[in-house]
Amino acid sequence: MADTEALDPRFRALVPAEARLERLIDGLKWVEGPVWFDEAETLLVSDIPNNRMLRWRPGRGVDTFRQPSDFSNGNTRDREGRLVTCEHGTRRVTRTEADGTITVLADRHRGRRLNSPNDVVVKSDGTIWFTDPPYGILSDYEGYKADSEQEGNFVFRLDPASGELRVVADDFDKPNGLAFSPDESLLYIADSGISHDPAGPHHIRRFAVEGAALRDLGVFAVIDPGTADGLRVDRHGHVWTSAGDGVQVLAPDGTLLGRIRTPEIASNLCFGAGRLFITATSAVYAIAVNTA
Ligand code: MG
């Protein structure tokens, strides 16, 4: 079976027909949280159940970046290029400074511990938006089993300048990956509730960003098979989402343009150096793309 499938002519402008999946890392348990550092030509990923972060560099292969990683999950970079990480084990969001020290950005809401921050994105104004489903406290597999101290599985906005942490969405089953549109007028947020409930949501919702608040614009796309976990938006506004069969590429109007198939369930993705990096269960892949 081909690695890619075009369902709409627009897809081939994004993913050339000759593009092939290249496996960069394998032997992982459940890999998530890819983030690319262009200046260092470095990809970081979280191998969650193995409680480690790995580093991959072209021509140099893979090594360990951080172990233990406090069961890290989603990663991104802030406006200064610093690593921002969601941690299940410590139930917090952290920033890694240039000297390697770790700063806690958020670990409590109204005095109570967060569930297990999952994925995170930074807006151009420096605010940090993240999701807080309970995957890291449901069992000891991806963190430490514990009761939730929150009244729901919220989406948060953190202002690191003031320290203010506010709930921007409170009606998700299990909020997961999230990404802004190129002009930041829209925020896409996955709900992966189907992971623990066959009747649960497996879709991406779209919100209008109105200052520090969100206005619900409804379901953007239902993802099948599987669900959206991590997602990214390219510079043209296409939504690239993980799914049960790999990565699906959606037009801004929700039309499915095509797919990149992976041998196992895809969890997340990121762009870098003319490629799309895909984390998929036990392995990490790259494929050439014409966008970023
Ligand atoms: Mg996730």
Binned average pLDDT, 10 residues per bin, the chain of 292 residues: 91 97 98 98 98 98 98 97 98 96 98 98 98 98 97 97 97 98 98 96 98 98 97 98 98 97 98 98 98 96
Question: In the prediction, which pLDDT does 2 show?
Answer: 79
User: Ligand 1 mean position to 177 CA, how many Å?
Assistant: 5
User: Ligand 1 mean position to 33 CA, how many Å?
Assistant: 7
User: Ligand 1 mean position to 22 CA, how many Å?
Assistant: 22
- Tell me which fold the domain 4-288 belongs to: Neuraminidase (2.120.10)
User: Ligand 1 mean position to 119 CA, how many Å?
Assistant: 5
User: Ligand 1 mean position to 199 CA, how many Å?
Assistant: 19
Question: In the prediction, which pLDDT does 223 show?
Answer: 98
Question: In the prediction, which pLDDT does 131 show?
Answer: 98
User: Ligand 1 mean position to 87 CA, how many Å?
Assistant: 11
User: Ligand 1 mean position to 291 CA, how many Å?
Assistant: 23
Residues 6 or more apart whose Cβ sits within 8 Å of residue 2:
261
User: Ligand 1 mean position to 73 CA, how many Å?
Assistant: 7
Which residue ranges make up each domain of the chain? 4-288
User: Ligand 1 mean position to 185 CA, how many Å?
Assistant: 22
